[in-house]
Structure formats: C-alpha cells, structure tokens
C-alpha cells in the first residue's frame, strides 16, 4: 500500500471550497479510496479557539501573533496528517499554508517572513484553486462579521494566491455548476492518483 496524496483546496471566501472538498472525500470513499477531510483553521483546538476569537473580532491580536497561531494550528495537526498519509489515506485539506501566506501578505506583511513558520510542513501533491472574483462571491451571500470578510481584503488575497501558484496548482472556474466543478476535480484527482501509483514520490516539504 503506497502513501496517500495530500490534496489542498484554496480560494477566496464563498468560492465553494467546503462543498467541493466534502464531495471529493465522499466520492473517493465511494470509489474505495481511503480519504479524510482536514480543515484549517481547526477551531476545535486550544490554538484554534484563539484564532476563532480573533476572526470573530472577540479579541485583538497583532498581525504577527495571529499569523503564528495559524501556522501552529497546522503544526499541531502535522504528526497525525503524516501518519495518515504514510498509512495510505489521502487527505483533502480545506485551506492550508497558502491561505496563511495570502491573507497575511494581503495585510502587507513580508512574504518571506510569512512563509518561514510553515517551512517543513508536508507539501501538497495537488492544489485546486477555486477561482471566483470577490464581487461574484459576494452575490452568493453577503459578507458576515468575520474580520477578513471585506471586499478590498478579498481582492488583495486573490492577487496573492495567484503569486503563489506553481505547477502543482489547477485553477478551477468556481462560477460554474457545482456538479460540473466536482466532475473536473474528480478527473484531476484520478489523474494525480494514477500518476502517483505509476511513479510514487515521497511526501515533499514546504517551502523548499
Ligand atoms: N485564514 C485561514 C488565515 O488568515 N490564515 C490561515 O492560515 C488560514 C488557514 O481565516 F478568512 C483566514 C481565511 C479566512 C479565515 O477561514 C477563516 P474559514 O475557511 O472561513 O474558516
């Protein structure tokens, strides 16, 4: 049994990441591929509770402090994630280091500084970027009360996401019908699984 794949969903708010990542896990499980959903931030841990309070504007934190908490929230999940991958479970991750870097860099923080705490995290095999312009996303539902749910911020975040892309990314047009998007993501995932089975590679490390 080879290792599982690390598949990441990124995108601006209301791009459909949660819907599509949940559907992908379900479809993989139905097809006999062991898969588990992981979501960042994980608000259920002690660190996650601090992040949650910040996002809901219940507490204030410096930009640097919250950035490091988001990173710590990934690091506290890393041992279990690596164990799952090594034992053959594919992980489907709803937001990861790219959200960490894109949101902080959108606040004009230094890019190199933003990447540093995530150096050494497991690198994704594929990243699906659900692309939607924030103005179209806003039509799906009004922005809520969370700190980053503002048009200017979302536009800047999208620009930062584009600057982080490499060949492991697929840009998925998120304005289309959800079934069509799911079919495209399933086809891309199956191709990644086939390629990995034919030529297995070890889990990579970020940001190297
Ligand atoms: N977010 C998410 C960050 O700023 N840094 C991170 O590392 C991560 C994982 O938190 F606005 C932001 C992105 C979003 C907010 O995300 C909460 P969800 O997906 O709405 O829970």
Is 153 in contact with 195 (CB distance < 8 Å)?
Answer: no
**Which residue has tokens 């047009």?**
173
CA distance 21 to 19: 6
Distance (angstroms) between ligand 1 centre and the Cα of 18 equals: 12
Ligand 1 atom with the shortest distance to the CA of 95: 9
**Average pLDDT, rounded, for the chain:** 96
Name 69's bridge partners. Answer: none
Distance (angstroms) between ligand 1 centre and the Cα of 102 equals: 10
Name the token pair of 139.
């039509």
pLDDT for position 80 = 98
Ligand 1 atom with the shortest distance to the CA of 100: 7
CA distance 3 to 13: 31
Q: Which of 39, 40, 70 is nearest to 54 (CA)?
A: 70
Series of mean pLDDT values for 10-residue runs along the chain (208 residues): 94 95 98 98 98 98 98 98 98 98 98 98 98 92 85 96 98 97 98 96 95
- Tell me 177's DSSP state: -
Distance (angstroms) between ligand 1 centre and the Cα of 128 equals: 16
CA distance 105 to 29: 36
CA distance 118 to 102: 13
Give residue ranges with CB within 6 A of ligand 1.
40-41, 55, 70, 95, 99-100, 103, 148
pLDDT for position 140 = 85
pLDDT for position 24 = 98
CA distance 122 to 140: 33
Ligand 1 atom with the shortest distance to the CA of 51: 10
pLDDT for position 208 = 85
Ligand 1 atom with the shortest distance to the CA of 148: 11
Q: Which of 130, 128, 129, 139 is nearest to 174 (CA)?
A: 130
pTM over 0.95: yes
Protein residue closest via CA to atom 6 of ligand 1: 100
Task: Lay out the sheet containing 126-131: strands in order across.
Answer: 35-39, 90-94, 6-11, 126-131, 169-173
Protein residue closest via CA to atom 5 of ligand 1: 100
């Amino acid at each position: 049994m080879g290792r599982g794949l690390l598949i990441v969903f990124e995108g601006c708010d209301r791009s459909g990441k949660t819907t599509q990542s949940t559907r992908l896990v379900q479809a993989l499980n139905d097809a006999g591929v062991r898969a588990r959903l992981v979501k960042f931030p994980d608000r259920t841990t002690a660190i996650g509770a601090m992040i949650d309070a910040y996002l809901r504007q219940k507490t204030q934190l410096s930009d640097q402090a919250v950035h490091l908490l988001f990173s710590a929230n990934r690091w506290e999940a890393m041992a279990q994630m690596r164990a799952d991958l090594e034992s053959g479970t594919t992980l489907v991750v709803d937001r990861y280091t790219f959200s960490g870097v894109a949101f902080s860099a959108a606040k004009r923080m230094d890019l190199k500084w933003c990447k540093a705490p995530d150096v050494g995290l497991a690198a994704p095999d594929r990243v699906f970027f659900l692309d939607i312009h924030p103005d179209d996303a806003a039509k799906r539902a009004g922005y809520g009360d969370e700190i980053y749910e503002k048009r200017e911020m979302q536009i800047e975040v999208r620009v930062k996401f584009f600057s982080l892309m490499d060949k492991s990314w697929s840009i998925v047009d998120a304005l289309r019908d959800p079934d069509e998007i799911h079919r495209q993501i399933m086809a891309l995932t199956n191709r990644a699984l086939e390629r990995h089975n034919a030529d297995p590679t070890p889990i990579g490390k970020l940001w190297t």
